[in-house]
Amino acid sequence: MNLRRHLRLPVQFRSVLSNPGHPDAVGTVMDISPHGCRIRSTSPVSIGMPLRLLIEVPEETSPICVEQAVVRWVRGQQFGLEFVTFATSEHERLSRVVQALE
């Protein structure tokens, strides 16, 4: 059963993940919605871990910044993030990107 409320669209966007006290990590966003994403990264994460996420979208002049995302699941080198906090302008940018992908 799929419990996800929002359809995620396949992408391959470079991302940078940061967490206080840990070095920044690089990953690839594999799918995305306005409320979350799946990332592939060699950086170790755990369920419940808060992260700051920068998503580099080719058509955008600067990365989209999610101030706080939370790891919801982990499977090998992939994990799911729920977006918790980001500026309205950043959410609008992300929504535009997702709409263009649909």
Whether 36 is in a domain gets the answer yes
Domain that holds residue 14: 9-101
Q: How many CB atoms lie within 10 A of CB 98?
A: 18
- The CA R_g of the chain, rounded to the nearest whole Å, is 13
Which tens digits make up the pLDDT trace of 53-77? 999 999 899 999 999 999 999 999 9
What is the reported pTM? 0.90
**12, 14, 28, 36, 80 from 89: Cα distances, Å:** 22, 20, 23, 16, 23
Q: Is 3 part of any domain?
A: no
> Is residue 67 assigned to a domain?
yes
Distance CA 99, CA 85 (A): 20
Q: How many domains does the chain have?
A: 1
- Give tens-digit pLDDT for 3-49: 446 677 899 999 999 998 888 999 999 999 999 999 999 999 999 99
